[in-house]
Amino acid sequence: MELCDLSAHELALLLRQRRISAVEVLESSLKRIAAVDGRPGTLDSAPLDAEDRAKVHSFITLTAERARAQAEAVDRKFAAGEDPGPLAGVPFTVKDIFCVEGTPSTAGSRILANFRAPYTATPVARMEAAGAVMLGKVNLDEFTYGSSNESSAFQPSPRNPWKLDRVPGGSSGGSATSVAAGEAPLSLGTDTAGSIRQPAAFCGVVGMKPTYGRVSRYGLIAFASSLDCPGPVARNVLDAALMMNVIAGADPHDSTAARVAVPDYIAALEQGVKGLRIGLSPDYFRITYPNLQTGKFEIQPLPPQIEAAVRRAADLLAKQGAEIIEGVPMPNTRFGIPAFFVISRVEAASNLHRFDGVKYGYRTPAPMTDLREMYRRSRGQGFGAQPKLRILMGMYVSAAQYSEQYYNRALQVRTLIRQDFDRVFDPKGPYRLNALLTPTTPTTAFKMGALYGDSVLMQYADQLTVPANHAGVPGISLPGSLDGEGLPIGIQLLGADYSEDVLLRIGRAYEDATEMDVWRKVLPQALA
């Protein structure tokens, strides 16, 4: 086993004991990246060849020299008897939607290809202040608009380490692949409709969406400001807790960052699940898909292997003392995607107005005498198809003549989804749940190109994750098993506001119960 295959908490312990150095850890990660990653995503990339199809392609920008300087600084502090922080020497990657001073911050878009951020996002700054070593910026769907990571302007886009012809999920695909392929034990991603949890499920790693406001959004290039949540992608629950201890908390730079006390997430892990009430909802065991021929919605059951993984998890938790509550109603879950289509597009259209080719980013090289023409051409050439679709739809549904029909109704649906969660988590209500146990995704990782270009069907990959974003509640995806093709199955825990500690606690109990399962010993294709 190489150093890069160790978890974050294992590395942190060995580093603190001075049995290894931060530079040695970094070199191991860089060696793994060189072996499995291939060429980074670039604009106007050459067509894929056989070698490209056999590589993971997590990165847009590898910051090896910056990382080396950070690792050397950690080693010097240890040598001087100083404490560099709880993540000292541990490598991590950053989804390229976060600003990092002096580095390209592209959002996966041509329009920001040349933008170098003048400041660093709070979650990244907190990771570095804790001694973590930033390896670089990883790929994503353009402006986070997608569920497969195929929409990035920087190609080749990431490929799933478990089967290299499958998508890694999105939009935090590069975060999930960098962790799953052993390039880094930790990654910082964002979740707007499931963009941490869905790729975590597809790639067999742990991904947490915190409560909205638990982690600062300062320095995050916004998609939908009322839905975006930064959070950790990690190898296991303990590593996710370690990262949450570092990044969570109020921030004077972000008025939406909650001024709520942050518990010690690691301390809560060993408390077990005895006495906890964990719910199963039939509304999370069926999927509502639009029939594009009839225009009607059709209800379909989950694949049996996915439902079986969730029910086995419930059985294992019950054996440890949890009380499993069947039949929990979440009737508005199926409306999460239609509401998201409207709300997210309106917010995206608003946020994208700032990219006009004037202050920073791409500007058309064509000579222009008319300012409006310069705007149109710069935006037309700089934005890919997905941002354009969201701008057009967002402007349409928010127009005065349509806002009541679409946008206001979507906000009402969002309120109903929130009420579903309030009812089941109410400590004085009929269910009194501590957590809801569900599948993370309706399928395992699909083939690259299978859904790309179909915005509707692609979005429905997030049907089981998006309700938590509407409600603002926390969720975590855990590896649950492998399907018949050897692809990871994700299981999801959802909780009340600021109950990340409870979700991590349940997740750790599930990990302990499945520690010896054969599927946990299987390596991804990229590492086999």
Instruction: Please tell me the predicted confidence (pLDDT) of residue 465.
Output: 98
CA distances from residue 1 to 18, 32, 34, 342, 515 in whole angstroms, order as listed: 19, 12, 17, 48, 18
Rounded distance between C-alpha atoms, residue 71 and residue 85, angstroms:
12
Q: What is the per-residue DSSP string for 88-126? A: TT-EEEEETTB--TTSB--TT-GGGTT-B-SS--HHHHH
CA angle (208 as vertex; 483, 509 as ends), nearest 5: 70
For residue 196, what are its two tokens? 């941490």
* Omega within 30 of 0 (cis) for the link into 367: no
Per-residue pLDDT of the chain (528 residues; tens, 9 = 90+): 899 999 999 999 999 999 999 999 999 999 999 999 999 999 988 899 999 999 999 999 999 999 999 999 999 999 999 999 999 999 999 999 999 999 999 999 999 999 999 999 999 999 999 999 999 999 999 999 999 999 999 999 999 999 999 999 999 999 999 999 999 999 999 999 999 999 999 999 999 999 999 999 999 999 999 999 999 999 999 999 999 999 999 999 999 999 999 999 999 999 999 999 999 999 999 998 877 788 788 898 999 999 999 999 999 999 999 999 999 999 999 999 999 999 999 999 999 999 988 888 899 998 888 899 999 999 999 999 999 999 999 999 999 899 999 999 999 999 999 999 999 999 999 999 999 999 999 999 999 998 887 777 788 889 999 999 999 999 999 999 999 999 999 999 999 999 999 999 999 999 999 999 999 999 999 998
- In this prediction the pTM is 0.97
Amino acid at 53: R
CA angle (102 as vertex; 118, 378 as ends), nearest 5: 70
Query: Based on C-alpha coordinates, what's the Rg of the chain?
Result: 22
Instruction: Please tell me the predicted confidence (pLDDT) of residue 1.
Output: 84
Query: Crossing angle for the helix pair 64-79 and 8-16, nearest 10 degrees?
Result: 40
- 37 Cβ neighbours under 8 A, 6+ residues apart: 55, 56, 57, 58, 59, 181, 183
Of 64, 244, 191, 143, give the one whose Cα is nearest residue 473.
191
Give catalytic residue positions. Answer: 95, 171, 195
Rounded distance between C-alpha atoms, residue 417 and residue 44, angstroms:
42
Instruction: Tell me, letter by letter, the H, E, C secondary structure of 454-512.
Output: CHHHHHHHHCCCHHHHHHCCCEEEEEEEECCCCCEEEEEEECCCCCHHHHHHHHHHHHH
Q: What is the per-residue DSSP string for 324-355? A: EE-----TTGGGHHHHHHHHHHHHHHHHHTT-
Instruction: Please tell me the predicted confidence (pLDDT) of residue 45.
Output: 86
CA distances from residue 445 to 203, 228, 327, 335, 522 in whole angstroms, order as listed: 8, 23, 28, 23, 17
Instruction: Please tell me the predicted confidence (pLDDT) of residue 28.
Output: 98
Instruction: Please tell me the predicted confidence (pLDDT) of residue 267.
Output: 95
